[in-house]
């Protein structure tokens, strides 16, 4: 097997929940050794309530459990940090300081450490200490307001607001690693997930700073393309998305749906008129899609050179032949739950390998981390177990 | 000037619209030298996309383009012309990374695919971003941002919660703006930097094949994972027992009392008497949120929902937000663009920065969500005008003479 891109990089990972763990997930897939440090007090809510979700965000990581509130637990944590390249944490701002693991302390232990603190609103500012979950980032960031039917209420995404924040954490750590590679210098990174959301609607925010315009909600619609919507198909709650940008796509669409006369119809004769009259077009298209399965529509229209994709549900994603062929959807063997379907990294790399692995059970790698990495004896480790410093 | 995190990284970007340019922007904003290649006379399609100041279309004034191309150098080059391709190869030879987001066949047809470019620069990292990746049965399928979003499974769950309750028979939708395309560009930047880090250590380059639908499906793991427990989540079942969006006096707020102490804080703010009633105890109301809602406790939940709705309508969103936060309950507002601009928290953090562009004057842009203690995010230049740096790059980087430049211009190569 080829080397992985981040072979040799070690991360002390204190994150819980969804955003932080998904951030270090990218580093794990690229081969970094992630030591996930869990404690009773700060055990992941996902671990407690929804283990399948925990598994899907903690692949290829090592599991370490210790009591951070005991002096001996803290000391062991510091020894793990001393042999790490990166620390990632997602506590509420101030908690790492209270634990005695703030950046200034961590820097003393390992001067070139890269430490990323991920939070909802950032480490600074009047609302930095506020409590947040994923969909709140979407609302505060401005995305929820822009999502929904043109005549309807705002709609929130849930997990995606966390996971896109996690992506930004992975990117930020990698940029800091590249800098350290050249200069030997570490640093502290303060990431706000709500600000990630705002950055990803930057163009809509510029409409406001330029024109004082609130773009509002557009459903599936686009400013230029039409038709551009989701259409009901045969079956229960089955839908297909269709988007048309050019004449070269419009004509074959009309042919494919058995309405060649539309090509000659004045009110659909150019992109602007189609956009103007898209409500009528949507009805015509939906009359046709209703008689086909969503995959049939995709097959027919893609053959004709028209962009069409079903609105897939999770089962359809997990069983989709394309995703399976690429190895994106794959099966892992979990030590306690057996076979699990998971999705891996969204890329294929030509030389370095991806590491998928499996997700650690509670304290699964305590002996490896303490014994192999820190050099503690069997007796010392047993004593730590007895004293409930590790558990 | 402080040193930038990615100073020294050299990138060629042959990408358009959102995903590829956002990938390039992320690198450029941290100090990489990104040379953006655009088609002569036409340019990136983002230049023809709104918003424009005063709604007057102009290729140098698109807010979408200006935002996505900060800190880049811009040149024009016709890659259909052999001379254009020759210049492209010379640029690639002196670069660490090439980013492109064209359909899979395009670079091969131009003779500029990874196999060809690797011959010129063995250390090159080439990142290709497409809706479905370079392999597999869908690789040549056509997909605009709407199709990519729905093809990933992300759209199927929108709208959920209150949105679904109000419109149970309507179509699934995409999330706002071009958010999926931004997410895809960000994932591409992760793989690119991971490869760059490795190439520095190993001396090798590699090809990075990014699939947009896979990026977005990957973001949905929280919703999708329970499939392993036999639950295929849909818009109807994807709701919180209590909380989510509520309509208030002046818009919408969001309550998320997912933990017991948060739930207690919520009741305390609305009406402390509620906490005394047996039926409103946390354990009766908040089922495990890993599971669909239904069954036992529904009556109590419904009556509590009614109480919350009535209460929320009497308060402003800011009021609800700060009151609940003061009692330790996770809550937020559904911010309009105006709210985002006026947020005290964002102002305190200096999130918006003014950037001066010769064609628009000063405009406020979002900066970065990540503050680096040693190598801060910086604006070094606004987005390039079409072909702004063609002469500078071709003369000084590639060593093309002034007279040759005139010839290339006449032939439409640049």
Q: Which of residues 150-179 of B touch A (CB under 8 A)?
A: 150-163, 166-167, 170-179
- Percent composition of chain B: helix, strand, coil (DSSP 3-state, to 5): 45, 15, 40
Nearest to A205 by CA among B148, B355, B45, B187: B355
User: Which of A93, A178, A185 to probe by mutation at the B interface, max B CB count within 10 Å?
Assistant: A178
Look at residue B239 and tell me whether its pLDDT is greater than 90.
no
Out of A263, A280, A311, a domain closes at A311
Q: Is B351 on the interface with A (CB under 8 A)?
A: yes
Instruction: Identify whether B88 is part of a domain.
Output: yes
Residue A271 and residue A332 in one domain:
no
Containing domain of residue B362, as a range? Answer: 10-220+347-410
CATH assignment of the domain containing B114: 3.40.50.10540
Instruction: Identify whether A326 is part of a domain.
Output: yes
Q: What percent of chain A has pLDDT over 90?
A: 94
Residue A235 and residue A196 in one domain:
no
Q: What is the pLDDT of residue A49?
A: 67
pLDDT digits over B46-80, tens only?
999 999 999 999 999 999 999 999 999 999 999 99
Out of B342, B361, B389, a domain closes at B342
User: Cβ contact (<8 Å) for A211 and B329?
Assistant: no
- List chain B residues with CB under 8 Å of A302: 141-142
Of B157, B160, B197, the CB nearest to A5: B197
Q: What is the pLDDT of residue B300?
A: 86
User: Cβ contact (<8 Å) for B219 and A160?
Assistant: yes
Q: Across residues B242-260, what is the average pLDDT?
A: 92
Look at residue A32 and tell me whether its pLDDT is greater than 60.
yes
SS3 B37: strand
Which residues are bridge partners to A89 per DSSP?
A: A117
- List chain B residues with CB under 8 Å of A164: 179, 183, 186, 219
Q: What is the pLDDT of residue B295?
A: 58
Q: What is the pLDDT of residue B74?
A: 98
How many domains does chain B divide into?
A: 2
Query: Which H/E stretch holds residue B370?
Result: strand B370-372
Q: What is the pLDDT of residue B139?
A: 98
Residue A104 and residue A190 in one domain:
yes
pLDDT digits over A53-78, tens only?
999 999 999 999 999 999 999 999 99
Q: What is the pLDDT of residue B290?
A: 43
Residue A56 and residue A161 in one domain:
yes
Residue B203 and residue B272 in one domain:
no
Look at residue B289 and tell me whether its pLDDT is greater than 70.
no
Phi-psi category of residue A308: left, alpha or beta, with phi > 0 → left and psi -120 to 50 → alpha? beta
Containing domain of residue A234, as a range? Answer: 228-311
Residue B14 and residue B110 in one domain:
yes
Question: By the 8 A CB rule, do A231 and B171 touch?
Answer: yes
Q: Across residues A138-152, what is the average pLDDT?
A: 97
Name the H helices within chain A: 19-29, 45-49, 51-57, 71-82, 95-98, 103-109, 134-141, 143-146, 159-183, 193-199, 202-211, 247-256, 271-276, 278-289, 294-303, 314-319, 321-325, 366-367, 378-386
More reliable by pLDDT, B259 or B118:
B118
Question: By the 8 A CB rule, do B70 and B365 touch?
Answer: yes
Look at residue B1 and tell me whether its pLDDT is greater than 60.
no
- Contacting residues for A178 by C-beta, under 8 A, at least 6 apart: B5, B6, B9, B193, B196, B197, B200
Q: What is the pLDDT of residue A21?
A: 97
Question: By the 8 A CB rule, do B214 and A343 touch?
Answer: yes
User: Cβ contact (<8 Å) for A352 and B360?
Assistant: no
- Contacting residues for A324 by C-beta, under 8 A, at least 6 apart: none
User: Cβ contact (<8 Å) for A53 and B225?
Assistant: yes
Distance of CA A141 to the CA centre of its chain: 16
Look at residue B216 and tell me whether its pLDDT is greater than 80.
yes
- Contacting residues for B355 by C-beta, under 8 A, at least 6 apart: B66, B70, B362, B363, B364, B365, B379, B382
Q: Is B256 on the interface with A (CB under 8 A)?
A: yes
Of A143, A188, A316, the CB nearest to B175: A143
Out of A311, A342, A373, a domain closes at A311
For tokens 């990026």, name the residue.
B215
* Mean pLDDT score across all residues of chain A: 96
CATH assignment of the domain containing A288: 3.30.1540.10
Confidence category of residue A347, pLDDT binned at 50, 70, 90: very high
How many domains does chain A divide into?
A: 2
Q: What is the pLDDT of residue B67?
A: 98
pLDDT digits over B69-121, tens only?
999 999 999 999 999 999 999 999 999 999 999 999 999 999 999 999 999 99
Helices B298-313 and B260-270, interaxial angle, to 10°? 50
pLDDT digits over B156-212, tens only?
999 988 888 899 999 999 999 999 999 999 999 999 999 999 999 899 999 999 999
Q: Which of residues 64-83 of A touch B (CB under 8 A)?
A: none
The complex scores an ipTM of: 0.98
* Mean pLDDT score across all residues of chain B: 94
User: Cβ contact (<8 Å) for B173 and A155?
Assistant: yes
């Amino acid at each position: 097997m080829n080397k992985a891109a981040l072979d040799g990089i070690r991360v002390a990972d204190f994150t819980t929940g969804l955003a932080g763990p998904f951030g270090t997930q990218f580093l794990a897939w690229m081969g970094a050794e992630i030591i996930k440090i869990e404690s009773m007090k700060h055990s992941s809510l996902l671990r407690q309530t929804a283990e399948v979700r925990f598994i899907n965000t903690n692949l290829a990581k090592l599991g370490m459990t210790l009591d951070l509130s005991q002096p001996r637990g803290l000391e062991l944590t510091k020894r793990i940090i001393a042999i790490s390249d990166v620390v990632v944490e997602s506590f509420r701002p101030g908690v790492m300081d209270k634990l005695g693991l703030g950046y200034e302390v961590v820097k003393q232990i390992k001067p070139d450490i890269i430490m990323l603190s991920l939070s909802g609103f950032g480490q600074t500012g009047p609302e930095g200490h506020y409590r947040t979950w994923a969909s709140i980032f979407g609302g505060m960031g401005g995305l929820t307001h822009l999502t929904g039917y043109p005549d309807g209420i705002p709609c929130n995404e849930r997990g995606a607001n966390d996971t896109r924040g996690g992506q930004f954490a992975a990117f930020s750590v990698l940029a800091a690693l590249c800098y350290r590679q050249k200069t030997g210098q570490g640093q502290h990174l303060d990431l706000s997930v709500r600000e990630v959301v705002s950055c990803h609607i930057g163009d809509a925010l510029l409409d406001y700073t330029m024109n004082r315009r609130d773009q509002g909600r557009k459903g599936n619609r686009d400013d230029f393309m039409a038709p551009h919507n989701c259409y009901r198909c045969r079956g229960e709650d089955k839908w297909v998305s269709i988007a048309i940008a050019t004449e070269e796509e419009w004509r074959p669409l009309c042919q494919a749906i058995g309405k060649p006369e539309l090509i000659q119809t004045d009110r659909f004769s150019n992109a602007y008129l189609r956009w103007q009259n898209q409500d009528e077009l949507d009805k015509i298209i939906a009359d046709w899609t209703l008689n086909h399965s969503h995959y049939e529509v995709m097959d027919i229209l893609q053959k004709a050179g028209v962009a069409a994709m079903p609105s897939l549900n999770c089962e359809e994603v997990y069983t989709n032949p394309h995703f399976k062929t690429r190895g994106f959807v794959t099966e892992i063997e979990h030590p306690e739950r057996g076979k699990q379907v998971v999705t891996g990294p969204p890329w294929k790399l030509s030389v370095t390998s991806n590491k998928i692995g499996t997700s650690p059970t509670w304290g699964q790698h305590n002996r490896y981390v303490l014994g192999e990495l820190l050099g503690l004896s069997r007796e010392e480790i047993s004593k730590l177990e007895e004293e409930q410093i590790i558990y | 000037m402080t040193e930038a995190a990615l100073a020294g990284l050299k990138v060629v970007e042959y990408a358009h619209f959102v995903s590829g340019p956002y990938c390039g922007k992320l690198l450029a904003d941290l100090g990489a030298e990104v040379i953006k290649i655009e088609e002569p006379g036409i340019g990136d399609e983002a230049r023809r996309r709104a918003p424009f100041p005063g709604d007057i279309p102009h290729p140098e004034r698109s807010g979408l383009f200006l935002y996505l191309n900060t800190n880049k150098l811009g040149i024009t080059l016709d890659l259909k012309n052999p001379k254009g391709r020759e210049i492209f190869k010379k640029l690639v030879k002196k670069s660490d990374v090439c980013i492109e987001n064209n359909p899979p066949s395009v670079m091969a047809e131009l003779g500029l695919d990874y196999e060809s470019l690797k011959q010129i620069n063995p250390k090159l990292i080439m990142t290709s971003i497409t809706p479905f990746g370079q392999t597999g049965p869908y690789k040549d399928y056509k997909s605009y941002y709407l199709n990519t979003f729905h093809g990933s499974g992300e759209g199927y769950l929108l709208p959920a919660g209150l949105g679904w309750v109000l419109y149970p028979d309507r179509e699934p939708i995409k999330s706002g703006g071009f958010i999926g395309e931004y997410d895809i560009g960000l994932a591409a930047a992760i793989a690119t930097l991971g490869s760059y880090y490795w190439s520095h250590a190993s001396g090798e380059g590699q090809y990075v094949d990014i699939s947009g639908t896979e990026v977005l499906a990957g973001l949905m793991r929280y919703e999708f994972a329970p499939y392993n427990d036999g639950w295929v989540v849909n818009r109807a079942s994807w709701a919180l027992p209590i909380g989510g969006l509520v309509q208030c006096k002046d818009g919408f707020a969001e309550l998320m009392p997912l933990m017991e102490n948060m739930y207690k804080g919520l009741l305390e703010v609305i009406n402390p008497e509620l906490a005394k009633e047996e039926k409103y105890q946390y354990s009766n109301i908040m089922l495990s949120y890993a599971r669909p809602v239904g069954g036992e406790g529904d009556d109590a939940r419904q009556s509590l929902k009614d109480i919350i709705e009535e209460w929320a309508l009497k308060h402003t969103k800011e009021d609800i937000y700060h009151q609940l936060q003061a009692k330790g309950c996770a809550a937020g507002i559904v911010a309009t663009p105006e709210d985002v601009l006026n947020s005290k928290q964002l102002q305190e953090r200096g999130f918006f920065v003014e950037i001066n562009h010769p064609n628009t004057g000063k405009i406020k842009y979002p900066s970065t969500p990540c503050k680096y203690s040693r190598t801060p995010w910086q604006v070094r230049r606004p987005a390039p005008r079409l072909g702004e740096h063609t002469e500078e790059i071709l003369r000084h980087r590639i060593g093309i003479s002034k007279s040759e430049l005139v010839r290339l211009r006449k032939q439409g190569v640049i």
